[in-house]
Amino acid sequence: MRSNKGLLIVLSGPSGCGKGTMVAEILKRGDCAVSVSATTRSPREGEENHVHYHFLTRDEFEQRIAEDGLLEYATYCDNYYGTPKKEVEEMRAAGKHVILEIEVQGAFQIRERCPDAVLVFTVPPSIAELRRRLHKRGTEMDEVIEKRIARAMEELPLAEQYDYIILNDALEDAVSDFGAVLRAETLRPSYTDLDSLRKDGNTL
Ligand code: 5GP
């Protein structure tokens, strides 16, 4: 009954608010895939090339832009980040719901280029909690943490332009809310394979 093509879901939210942990849980469903972004930032400890990101030099990244190989891209805290176009299309064509874990500028580019995309913004319970989570993660220096907090303050007011807002306080609840969004989106007429419904003797 559903269309064969997967949904395109953008997941934004301040750095440190738990998007990565949410995505790791969501992937356990089996019907979703996460897009591996390209970036010019250096790998963090434990991050693998082509698994967490495609780590590129600035020249390589700019080459991808020139070739129109990115669905969207943005600069965030002095580095480029972008979504490889071909990989996303292939995963969607294979029926997976593809999650783009990206910041706000990229999210709005996606809305322009892919009007069927679903934009989800996840918010932390408070800025104090966000700061605590960033310190606990321990992957950034204090100065970078403050840059990310400043960026979060700019991004949070844009949440209201998204299709859905999910509070990430208890992880379980946030993941369950995400599941509810997916469920609702796959029940839209635009997503449903109406021809097969009609074939089955319905009156649609
Ligand atoms: P991080 O350096 O913490 O991995 O990511 C920094 C920010 O860049 C996060 O908000 C993350 O969601 C965003 N980001 C990651 N990949 C992309 C991408 O492909 N495009 C855009 N626009 N933002 C991205």
Nearest-5° angle of CA 84, CA 90, CA 95? 130
d(CA 90, CA 79) in angstroms, rounded, equals 26
Q: What is the pLDDT of residue 204?
A: 72
d(CA 138, CA 148) in angstroms, rounded, equals 13
Residue 19 Cα to ligand 1 midpoint, Å, equals 10
pLDDT beyond 70 at 20: yes
d(CA 118, CA 111) in angstroms, rounded, equals 8
Q: Which residue's CA is the closest to the ligand 1 atom numbered 17? A: 102
Whole-structure pTM value: 0.92
Interval 78-98: pLDDT, tens? 999 999 999 999 999 999 999
Residue 193 Cα to ligand 1 midpoint, Å, equals 33
- CATH fold of 8-36+95-199: Rossmann fold (3.40.50)
Pocket test for ligand 1, best of 81, 139, 145 (most atoms within 8 A of CB): 81
pLDDT band at 3 (very low <50, low <70, confident <90, very high): low
Determine the angle formed by the axes of helices 19-27 and 171-186, rounding to 10 degrees: 60
Look-up of token digits 């972008």: 82
Dihedral sign, Cα of residue 26, residue 30, residue 32, residue 35: positive
Query: And the tokens for 67?
Result: 């070739």
